């Protein structure tokens, strides 16, 4: 463990000057300096600040969704309950304490279940009005009647799809697409609009037997950067991982980083600057960037190379326009004496790595000194209804968190919801799943790594925790973001729901 790592990181941050090219604007990349934090807060439109309390009062969709899905589980007995399913995780923190350590977390409330009967509208109506009138959750009464009705119909539609009643599902989807708008003031209506669109794709794919999405990677990367600018989640992933990699590279003079889905490479300028200013001198850095487009990979490599050159750091970039799980070890130009780091920021936009079992096997063969893994607390495994329940709760929370920060008519909010969150929802519901991909997906990678003899967990350090807390300090407490440390991991969520978990691992045969 590198001594004084946190001090080294922050001693250099004050000397950083933003580059003129937009992709390397350090404010957008996410350096957590005091000046950047102040600028981030001061740049929030006044309208957003004035509407924040209103938005927070309205945005209780995720609370209601969780209660509805729990009721659904009670009404539809499980054939096989998996207590380790991580469709959603709960952040156990008192309301007045934004950060704490926790050694254990309860299993998911939304475990595996299978329908044994058709759920009718009266089942949901009983739950809906008993909850609203019961007053057990103050947030429920703030949802408008139309939003509740739409969610009810969406749940009925999901059950119909799960039992292959596609005709009835199609009828309900026609009604949903006419009633729900992605531009609505209500978070519930926006969520329903995007879920209905994804479920329509699912029904069409089931009828036609096709499920091949066309992905505009430039559009996705642009939305990803916009999300990074307005939310702490991507910055959290970048800086906690960078700190773990920095500590693993201590006193190493030749290092190699494999990024399993590098996109625009926004994460790496921050790490490069720290490595270039180390007391023992900068290392030679080799980076292997994985992605789907050689054109985009080449452009990213050019940007990173130019940045490293300005820092006076020896650097080389190797693009591989394939998925990590579809290559063999000979395609990775790993040299003797290099210290290897593998970084994986997981998302649900598309399948970035290929088959899980071959991805795991290649990691074992490479024997990295550090694996930094940032996972969505969302499972891609299981049946359609499993994925629907988990994703409805997860993305209701994501939409709530955006609604607490951005006004309903904010163009950035619509851009993120349409180009990023909807694509993830569509991939999970219309594309993903064992029946469609022909393979089983691991529900939680950190559990799989822990279960294998090849890897051992490296607890996230206090320096990583400090980095994450600095990122969170850029957002006022009223926005509801919560940070939890426990089980060697760091978790960032919104209110009581964990959304992203960062962990680090090392191989027993590490270089």
Q: Are 447 and 84 a contacting pair, CB within 8 Å?
A: yes
Q: Are 184 and 146 a contacting pair, CB within 8 Å?
A: no
Q: Are 448 and 442 a contacting pair, CB within 8 Å?
A: yes
Lowest-confidence region among 15-24, 248-257, 277-286, 421-430: 15-24
Query: What pLDDT score does 257 carry?
Result: 98
User: Taking 60 as the threshold, does the pLDDT of residue 123 lie above it?
Assistant: no
Query: What pLDDT score does 212 carry?
Result: 59
C-alpha angle 156-161-164 in degrees, rounded to nearest 5: 130
pLDDT band at 25; cut points 50, 70, 90: very low
pLDDT band at 207; cut points 50, 70, 90: confident
pLDDT tens digit sequence for 265-274 = 999 999 999 9
Q: Comparing 79 with 456, which gets the higher pLDDT?
A: 456
Query: What pLDDT score does 72 carry?
Result: 59
Average of per-residue pLDDT across 330-334: 94
User: Taking 50 as the threshold, does the pLDDT of residue 41 lie above it?
Assistant: no
Query: What pLDDT score does 383 carry?
Result: 83
pLDDT tens digit sequence for 131-171 = 333 334 444 444 567 778 899 899 999 999 999 999 999 99
d(CA 297, CA 46): 38
Domains in the chain, please, with CATH?
A: 149-210+381-396+405-433 (no CATH), 217-375+438-507 (3.40.50.150)
DSSP 430: I
Query: What pLDDT score does 195 carry?
Result: 97
Query: What pLDDT score does 297 carry?
Result: 96
User: Taking 90 as the threshold, does the pLDDT of residue 441 lie above it?
Assistant: no
Cβ neighbours of 203 (radius 10 Å): 18
Q: Are 83 and 111 a contacting pair, CB within 8 Å?
A: yes
DSSP 104: -
Query: What pLDDT score does 511 carry?
Result: 59
Q: Are 465 and 485 a contacting pair, CB within 8 Å?
A: yes
Q: Are 459 and 235 a contacting pair, CB within 8 Å?
A: no
Query: What pLDDT score does 504 carry?
Result: 97
Lowest-confidence region among 38-47, 71-80, 84-93, 277-286: 38-47
Lowest-confidence region among 387-391, 450-454, 456-460, 507-511: 507-511
Q: What percentage of the chain carries pLDDT values higher than 90?
A: 52
| The overall pTM is greater than 0.75 | yes
Q: Comparing 125 with 401, which gets the higher pLDDT?
A: 401
Q: What is the sign, positive or negative, of the torsion defined by CA atoms of 393, 395, 396, 402?
A: positive
Query: What pLDDT score does 90 carry?
Result: 52
Q: How far is CA 20 from CA 26, 224, 266, 307, in A?
A: 10, 20, 14, 12
Query: What pLDDT score does 172 carry?
Result: 96
d(CA 155, CA 388): 9
Name the one residue in this structure whose structure tokens are 């739409």: 150
Please give the distance of CA 142 from its chain centroid, rounded to a whole number: 28
Q: What residues have CB less than 8 Å from 123, skipping those under 6 apart?
A: 75
d(CA 400, CA 169): 27
Lowest-confidence region among 75-89, 358-372, 463-477: 75-89
Q: What value does the mean pLDDT of the chain take? A: 77
Q: Comparing 507 with 25, which gets the higher pLDDT?
A: 507
Question: 170-179 in b/e burial notation, b at 16+ Cβ within 10 A?
Answer: bebbeebeeb
* Token pair recorded at residue 140: 């429920």
């Amino acid at each position: 463990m590198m001594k004084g790592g946190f001090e080294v990181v922050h001693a250099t941050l004050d000397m950083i000057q933003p580059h003129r090219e937009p992709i390397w604007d350090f404010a957008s990349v996410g350096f957590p300096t005091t000046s950047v934090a102040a600028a981030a807060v001061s740049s929030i439109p006044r309208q957003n600040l004035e509407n924040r309390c209103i938005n927070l009062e309205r945005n209780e969709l995720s609370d209601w969704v969780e209660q509805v899905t729990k009721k659904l589980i009670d009404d539809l007995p499980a054939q096989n309950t998996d207590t380790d399913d991580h469709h959603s995780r709960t952040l156990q923190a008192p309301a007045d304490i934004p950060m704490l350590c926790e050694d254990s977390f309860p299993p998911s409330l939304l475990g595996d279940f299978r329908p044994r009967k058709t759920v009718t509208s009266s089942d949901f109506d009983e739950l809906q009005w008993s909850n609203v009138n019961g007053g057990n959750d103050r947030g429920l009464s703030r949802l408008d009647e139309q939003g509740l009705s739409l969610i009810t119909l969406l749940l009925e539609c999901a059950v119909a799809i799960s039992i292959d009643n596609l005709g009835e599902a199609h009828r309900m989807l026609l009604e949903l697409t006419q009633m729900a708008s992605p531009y609505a003031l209500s978070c519930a209506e926006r969520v329903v609009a995007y879920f209905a669109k994804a479920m329509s794709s699912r029904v069409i794919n089931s009828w036609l037997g096709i499920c091949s999405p066309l992905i505009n990677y430039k559009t996705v990367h642009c939305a990803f950067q916009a999300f990074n600018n307005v939310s702490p989640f991507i910055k959290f992933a970048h800086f906690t991982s960078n700190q773990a990699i920095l500590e693993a590279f201590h006193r190493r003079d030749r290092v190699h980083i494999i990024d399993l889905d590098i996109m625009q490479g926004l994460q790496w300028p921050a790490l490069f600057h720290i490595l270039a200013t180390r007391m023992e001198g900068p290392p030679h850095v080799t980076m292997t960037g994985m992605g789907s487009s050689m054109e985009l990979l080449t452009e990213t490599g050019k940007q990173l190379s130019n940045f490293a050159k300005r820092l006076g750091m020896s650097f080389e970039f190797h693009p591989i326009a394939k998925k990590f799980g579809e290559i063999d070890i000979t395609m990775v130009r790993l040299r003797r004496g290099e210290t290897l780091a593998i970084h994986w920021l997981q998302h649900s936009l598309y399948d970035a790595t290929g088959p899980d079992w071959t991805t795991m096997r290649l990691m074992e063969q490479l024997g990295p000194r550090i694996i930094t893994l940032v996972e969505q607390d969302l499972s891609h495994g299981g049946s359609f209804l499993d994925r629907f329940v988990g994703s409805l709760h997860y993305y209701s929370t994501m939409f709530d968190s955006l609604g607490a920060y951005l006004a309903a008519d904010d163009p950035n909010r619509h851009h993120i919801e349409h180009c990023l969150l909807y694509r993830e929802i569509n991939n999970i519901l219309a594309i993903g799943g064992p029946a469609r991909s022909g393979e089983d997906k691991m529900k939680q990678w950190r559990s799989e790594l822990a279960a294998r003899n090849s890897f051992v967990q490296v607890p996230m350090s206090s320096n990583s925790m400090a980095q994450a807390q600095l990122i969170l300090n850029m957002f006022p407490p009223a926005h509801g973001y919560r940070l939890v440390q426990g089980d060697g991991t760091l978790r960032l969520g919104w209110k009581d729901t964990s959304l992203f978990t960062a962990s680090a691992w090392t191989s027993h045969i590490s270089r």
